Amino acid sequence: MSDIATATWTTHIRGERVEIPATIEGIRAVLDEADVEAFDAEVESTPAQDLHRVLARWALPAEATQEDDELLARLKAGDFSGCIPQDEPRSVA
């Protein structure tokens, strides 16, 4: 693979720093063979201004989606612990 294919994005999943592929070639390389065709079709039909979001979604591992689902379920259940209201000033230490 070329240096471009080894480019990565950095994110956090369950509090851990994770690097995910940041090129079409790199993302395609980590997908299950069954997903490659769907990935290619979506990338080919995505408007350029939205491409970064589509690539990021495909690059994220399943653990990221699970974490998001758990967070949404917690919020829907009324558990807002750890949330910072946008209309309240935050103190800066």
Fill in the DSSP letter of residue 19: E
Across 31-36, average pLDDT:
94
Determine contact, residues 40/33, Cβ cutoff 8 Å.
no
Percent of all residues in the chain with a pLDDT value above 90, rounded to a whole number: 76
- Residue 38: exposure state from Cβ atoms within 10 A (0-12, 13-18, ≥19): exposed
DSSP per residue, 65-90: HHHHHHHHHHHHTT--TT---TTSPP
pLDDT mean across residues, the chain: 89
Across 7-18, average pLDDT:
93
Predicted TM-score (pTM) of this structure: 0.71
Across 28-40, average pLDDT:
95
With both helix axes pointing from N to C terminus, report the angle between 33-45 and 51-59 in degrees, rounded to the nearest 10. Answer: 170
**Highest mean pLDDT pick, 2-6, 25-29, 80-84:** 25-29
